[in-house]
Amino acid sequence: MNASDAPLQRRPNGAPRAALVNEAGSPPPDGAMLAELLSRVAATRDRQAYAVLFKHFAPRVKAYLRRAGMEATAAEEVAQEVMLSLWRKAESFDASRAGASTWVFAIARNARIDHARRVRGLPSEPEPEAESYPSAEALTLTAERASLVRGALSALGPDQRQIVQLFFFSDKPHSAIASALDLPLGTVKSRIRLATAKLRAILGDAP
């Protein structure tokens, strides 16, 4: 699908936005509704459903990118890339394997890493499966969640905690972690899967 197929318009400053918005004052959708909206986009390319998703996720994704240290203009551009990916990749969302927020913020995390690699002139890495990771928002060290995240990390064993810190907070790819710790690549991936399953149970799927 071409980028022009997505239900986006161009603002005067060149940044895309949703063509439709949900009614002002309506409550934010919960996890079940977000999953339903994603399914509607996947099944019928529902523009109204996409507009609600855009309104919900675009500012949250941008805020996540800003908290991660990205400057405002880049955060706006990458957030728009994430929302375009949501439209293009909606068919790959599986509600039985991941929550909507987990899925979207995995895309956001991958986009943030790809942006950093582009800035450094490095090639992008293949994207990991979204369902393997908890919501990126849940792992962001914002003030209101810092103690919860520290508590979740303390529940991990030292080997798992070290790998999680390298992978999520230092943005090290699997191959770099394997090299740094002198571990087989499969062991690194297995420890990340086990650790993130524990983190998901503790932190939940942050909306």
pLDDT given for residue 169 in this prediction: 64
Q: Among positive and negative, which fits the CA dihedral 126, 127, 131, 136? A: positive
Complete domains list, the chain, with CATH: 1-132 (1.10.1740.10), 134-207 (1.10.10.10)
pLDDT given for residue 84 in this prediction: 93
Q: Indicate the angle between helix axes 31-44 and 72-89, nearest 10 degrees.
A: 60
Q: Indicate the angle between helix axes 100-119 and 47-67, nearest 10 degrees.
A: 50
pLDDT given for residue 197 in this prediction: 80
For the stretch 129-144, what's the b/e string if a residue is b when 16 or more beta carbons lie within 10 angstroms of its beta carbon? ebbbbbbbbbbbeeee
Cβ-based neighbours of 148, under 8 Å, separated by 6 or more: 202, 203
pLDDT given for residue 23 in this prediction: 47
pLDDT given for residue 138 in this prediction: 45
pLDDT given for residue 171 in this prediction: 60
Residue 181's H or E segment, with its range, is helix 174-181
Across the chain, which has 207 residues, the per-10-residue mean pLDDT values are 44 38 61 91 92 92 87 92 92 87 89 85 52 45 52 81 76 80 88 81 57
